Amino acid sequence: MLVTVLIIIAVVVAGVLVATKFGLLKDEDKNGIPDAVDAKVDQVKVKVEEVKAKVEDVKEDVAEVVKVVKKATKKPAAKKPAAKKAKKTKE
């Protein structure tokens, strides 16, 4: 199973390299990575930064909610029992 996956990956990589070498895939900067792949990687990096920012916002919101819930769930202070009133006796 693992060998099959490795063979498939090797064939795909070899195909991309051959296509890049013969000009079927553009590679303006001649780094061996097709420009389409470079563009997608850049898009993914931008998206990851956006998600990180959203996660930080949510993290702060959750911390605030937890603080409020902890404050709300504290046990109320015990009330002292009221002093008993003296009963008046009829004489």
- 52 within domain boundaries: yes
Supply the range of the domain harboring residue 59: 18-71
- 42 within domain boundaries: yes
36 or 11, which is more confident?
Answer: 11
Based on the structure, what is the number of domains in the chain? 1
Query: Is the confidence at residue 91, as pLDDT, over 70?
Result: no
**Percentage of the chain lying above the pLDDT 90 cut:** 44
85 or 8, which is more confident?
Answer: 8
Sign of the Cα torsion 41, 47, 51, 53 reads positive
Q: Are 25 and 34 in contact (CB under 8 A)?
A: yes
Q: Which tokens hold the place of 72?
A: 């709300």
Q: What is the pLDDT of residue 54?
A: 97
Query: Is the confidence at residue 4, as pLDDT, over 90?
Result: yes
Q: Are 37 and 17 in contact (CB under 8 A)?
A: no
Its pTM stands at: 0.52
- 6 within domain boundaries: no
- 66 within domain boundaries: yes
- Give 39-57 pLDDT, tens digit per residue: 999 999 999 999 999 999 9
**Percentage of the chain lying above the pLDDT 70 cut:** 87
- 40 within domain boundaries: yes
